[in-house]
Structure 1
Amino acid sequence: MVLEVAETMNDLGQNETFDVVVVGAGGAGMSAALVAAIDGARVLLVESTEYVGGTTAYSAGTTWIPASMHASSVNRYDSSAIAEGFLQRAIGERSSAAMRRAFLDAGPKAVAHLEANSDVKYRARPFHPDYLSEVEGSTLRGRALEPLPFDGRKLGAAFSLIRPPIPEFTVLGGMMVDRDDVTHLLNMTKSLASFRHAAKLLARHARDRMSSPRGTRLVMGNALIGRLLYSLLQRGVTVLTNTTVEALHAGASGIEGVTLSHGGERRRIAVKGGVILASGGFNRHAKRRGDMLPGADPIWCPGAPGHTGGAQDLALAAGARFGTGALSNAFWAPVSLRKRADGTTAVFPHFIMDRGKPGVITVDKSGKRFLNENTSYHLFGIAMQEANESTPAVPAYLITDSEGLRKYGLGMVRPGGKGLTPFLADGYLVEGKTLDELAAKLDIDKAGLADSVARNNRFAQSGVDTDFARGTTAYQNANGDANWSGPNKCLGPIGAAPFYAVRLYPGDIGAATGLVIDTDARVLDRDDQPIGGLYACGNDAQSVMGGVYPGPGITLGPGLAFGYLAARHATLRAAQHTQPARDESLDLHIHAHAR
């Protein structure tokens, strides 16, 4: 099968009409487009950048969907009701209970619908705790789904459309690895099973590099995007990249068309069912970013470049409004920065590999710890900004010794303790033969750092962090070192010279505040009435999580669920539009669905 992609608007006929137009080809938008196509709609998917995938392509691809068809394989005791109670306790009034129920109801349906009708396939992680594991109703497994690996060679020439992963998350010049692969690669000299797994990966990658600029074995977010793209092209969905939506056109029934721009050419497209906005949110909007994320330098954002908020501006002009009341306007992670050889800046999110490990601490300008290093990356980023109001904590400093560096690495410095010269030369990694020398190089308080390390070492011996209760929840311990021999999997001594540090900044990894929608993902106006034919999902929509980060994949999960709801409603609307006479049963169906 030849998978064809429209390269320019000239590939479209004149006076084109689509049932559904989706704006933004990240995980949420591609899922919405696929659901609409499965349900029989003629779909146009418009992406402003040269790649499809958005930030989903950079991510682990984890999708938080409680009570899915896969959950019982690892946890037969969970349910939507338990998850609803968990979200109520974790989020409270920061989001609508009705919206959370809509998400919990639609999520499992969306997974089942895609798996039954496309090449999109998930599995449940055997162990992947909710981040707020101390809250009643949390689980250790079953809610976090991950995409199955995908063979990018099946896409043919369309493989080049997928946004490549962050280079620093790959090895050997573009070989993608997931958490299982990393474990095998680190243990390949200690285990025959790991050696075989690693040898198979390396042989596959060597073959790939003979004909491709990067590996074609896709995992994590790239695997999800690859599966979505393959399924979309099989369904005949028209995909336009490097194309922006310049205008939404309203008529008697609501939004009835869009104006597209590509390479200086403009074309108006008619839309029967609706326009679904899934362009990634406001994070790179020239003005709104400053208003909603004050003090957060755009260079700290590790997200994909298409999150300009332009589609949201069009919705606002059509009468939409932004939500309020979230814990934070964005989701956060600590990041470190390094200039690449080509002059671009690598922004590396510190999710799990280093900051929560024993023998690693984080300090501020005074040399003092100011947070629990094993908290979720979202709360870590918030804590940095809150601490910075009293004592400079941006940047903060991730500190370890030679043993910690060897075992866990530090940011872009991989485990093993070798190849440090380029990182030291450009200042990404800072080394001190003593703690005092390290403090001097970082320009932080020497006495404060010495005291923090001494306190950490006492906590490591006793197993109890009396300052920040590190290692006291299931989630925190999951990010420690399961093989650590000390009494607390998250606490270890710092004492083996030399000592090392990298600088951390609060990086926004996605928008939490967005357009207000209803339980069918219809965009609401300032009077809480739906704007006909206009939908939003993903980070273009107000987060159902209310700016809280209760578990892994809480952006992709709601993105999938509300993309599903938007697509089904818009497809029904398109079907009504094409009826030769009024179909009262369909009208009642849509009306009931809207309620």
Structure 2
Amino acid sequence: MKSWDVIVIGSGAAGFAAAVTACCKGLSVLMLEKAPQFGGTSAISGGAVWINDSDQARQQGKSGPEQTIKTYLKTIIGEQHYRPEMVDAFVSSGREALAFLEKEGAVKYSLRPLSPDYYPDEPGAVDVGRALEVVEYDGRRLGDRFRELRSPPPGMLLFGGMMVNRVDIQHFLDMRSSLRSFTHCTKLLLRYGRDRLKYPRGTRLAMGNALIARMATLAFRKGMSLQLNVNVTSLIESNGEVTGVEIEHAGQKSVLHAHQGVVLAAGGFAAGRLAAQYRPKTRQHYTMSPDANDGAAFRLTAPLNARQGADLPSNFFWAPVSVLRHADGSEERFPHLVTDRAKPGVIAVNQRAVRFVNESNSYHHFASAMQSLEENAPCYLICDALAMKRYGLGLARPAPVNNDALIKAGYLHKADSLAQLAQALGIDGQTLTATVSRYNHDAASGSDTEFARGGNSYKPRNGRSRPPA
């Protein structure tokens, strides 16, 4: 029977953090991943972390006392759900954990120059000091393993395979009016062109892809073994302890032993049937989670009398998602996180053709509003020609990209008047016209009388034409 000191189930950021830590302590590690590529949801995420009192914050004089963040968390979590022992552990150990991984070379983060907390008006909230973003990484350092790293969805890449981060996006928006931005983008494009001569996509990695790639590079260098396409069928228990796993790979079953323990980092259940039992009943639901996140951890731990978390205020990480249906029947999904909803010239309306939410709210709050009333989902993001030209919308790219294919596919609707657009969407034209008229009047006066768009430090952040670099 094959054995390792530690077996890690799952290859996202949590799994790699555990694997790297074990490797750095001199332990032998085996990582098992159900999917044909490693990285999980983390590889297609933004990769940002929210840590109090990080070294990065200290270096820039932006660190805050523990009590401030505890006050903030207690306010937004609420007395009923607040668990002081969990919050204390997070607040007191976050900096230490991140510093350890950075010292070993497993991660590299920088402090965001402006990233207000999602509830900026609550006690203890800050505009800068807690949010850290991933520093870009050269995927070529992974060697042959680069091809096994999960790629972001096509809609989140430029030109079929090029990753960009927050700063890059702004440079692309400004490249026709700024020599600095033009130079920046030209360098990126030349690098990408060279990459495509040898690789299936660009090797300059950003966000969650860079996070996983850097961690994986270190883990492989320290001897971690990785097996893909492995289905863990059960956990092996002996005298009240988990001592190994039973797996199925390529049609063959086998048993693997773990001397020190098994780390369960198998992702969630957003892509599985189990999700329907916990999420609100909506007419349409699309997840960005990989198919492998089917709730395997529940199945594996049930025989061991594991207990699910109970009385949670929210079991899901929500975001509005649009869907492009290709001619071959396949679907491409796009999460509307930060690139379009909050931009000038963009509003969201529901089935009654009225606004129902502050478009610059966080993605979680926006999607929660969609679920509050049946008429709010599906909803429509509507913009004028200038906003489309400057920022794009979902999978539609800003000028000079031609988006006619998206119009033909029915993903994007274009009309010469609001009445015509309303007819195409199947909503009331007079109401839509009135909605836009009221919004434009408020915009001209500088005050959103319906939803206070731009009313605090968070809401203007993603609407800025030039966010801080």
Paired residue secondary structure (2:55):
coil
Deviation of 1:124 (Å)? 1.3
Q: In 2, distance between residues paired with 1:341 and 1:242?
A: 29
Matched, 1:458 2:436: no
Instruction: Provide the secondary structure at the position in 2 that maps to 1:476.
Output: coil
Deviation at 1:482, TM superposition (A): 4.5
Q: Does 1:168 align with 2:155?
A: yes
Matched ranges for 1:74-223 at <5 A:
74-92=60-78, 93-223=80-210
Q: Residue 105 of structure 1: CA displacement?
A: 2.0
- Shift, 1:417, TM fit: 6.5
Match of residue 478 from structure 1: 461
Whole-angstrom CA distance in 1 between matches of 2:304 and 2:283: 30
Q: Distance in 1 between matches of 2:341 and 2:227?
A: 40
- What's the CA shift string for 1:293-326, capped at 9, x where partnerless? 2435786101122111112211122111111222
From 274, 281, 286, the counterpart of 1:300? 286
TM-score, scaled relative to structure 2: 0.95
| Partner-residue secondary structure (3-state), 2:257 | strand
> Closer, same or farther in 2 for the Cα pair 1:19/1:120, shift >3 Å?
same
Residues 542-582 of structure 1: CA deviation (Å, up to 9, x unaligned): xxxxxxxxxxxxxxxxxxxxxxxxxxxxxxxxxxxxxxxxx
**Cα distance per residue 1:95-115 (max 9 Å; x no partner):** 412111111222211111111
For the aligned residue pairs, the C-alpha RMSD in angstroms reads 1.7
SS at match of 1:430: coil
Gaps of 5+ in 1: 1-14, 485-595
2:113 corresponds to which letter in structure 1?
P
Q: SS where residue 45 of structure 1 aligns?
A: strand
Q: CA separation in 2, counterparts of 1:383 and 1:173?
A: 33
Give the aligned residue type for 2:412: L
| Distance across 2 between alignment mates of 1:413 and 1:74 | 37
Equivalent residue of 2:324, what SS? Answer: strand
Task: Choose which of 298, 302, 325 in structure 2 pairs with 1:316.
Answer: 302
Aligned length: 466
Matched residue of 2:343: which SS? Answer: coil
Aligned identity (percent) is: 39
> Residues of 1 paired with 2:82 and 2:306: CA distance?
18
The AA in structure 1 aligned to 2:244 is G
Question: Deviations for 1:246-276, whole angstroms, at most 9, x for unmatched residues?
Answer: 1111111411121011111111112222211
1:332 matches 2:339: no
Deviation at 1:39, TM superposition (A): 1.6
Q: Shift of the alpha carbon at 1:422?
A: 0.7
For structure 2, the 5+ residue unaligned runs are: none
8 Å contact from structure 2 (residues 271, 291) kept in 1: yes
Distance 1:341 1:54, change over 3 A: farther
Q: Write the distance in 2 (CA, Å) between the matches of 1:397 and 1:382.
A: 15
Amino acid at match of 1:303: S
Q: 2:463 is paired with a residue of what secondary structure?
A: coil
Correspondences of 1:426-465 after superposition (within 5 Å): 426-465=409-448
Structure possessing the higher relative contact order (Cα contacts under 8 Å, 6 or more residues apart):
1
One-letter code aligned to 2:94: G
Using a 3 Å threshold, how does the CA distance of structure 1 residues 301 and 429 change in structure 2: closer, same or farther? same
Tell me whether 300-309 or 69-78 shows the greater mean CA deviation.
69-78
Residue 420 of structure 1 corresponds to: 403
What is the Cα deviation at residue 483 of structure 1? Answer: 6.0
Report if the CA contact (8 A) 1:370-1:387 is conserved: no
> Which residue does 1:265 correspond to in 2?
252
Cα distance per residue 1:340-386 (max 9 Å; x no partner): 46643111011111111222111111111111111110011111011
Amino acid at match of 1:161: E
Separation of aligned partners in 1, 2:151 and 2:293: 17
The answer for the alignment partner of 1:248 in structure 2 is: 235
Structure 2 vs 1, CA of residues 469 and 434 (structure 1 numbering), >3 Å: closer, same or farther?
Answer: same
Q: Distance in 1 between matches of 2:322 and 2:67?
A: 39
| Cα distance in 2 between the residues matched to 1:203 and 1:131 | 37
Change (3 A) 1:150 1:466: same
Distance between the aligned counterparts of 1:19 and 1:439, measured in 2?
Answer: 62
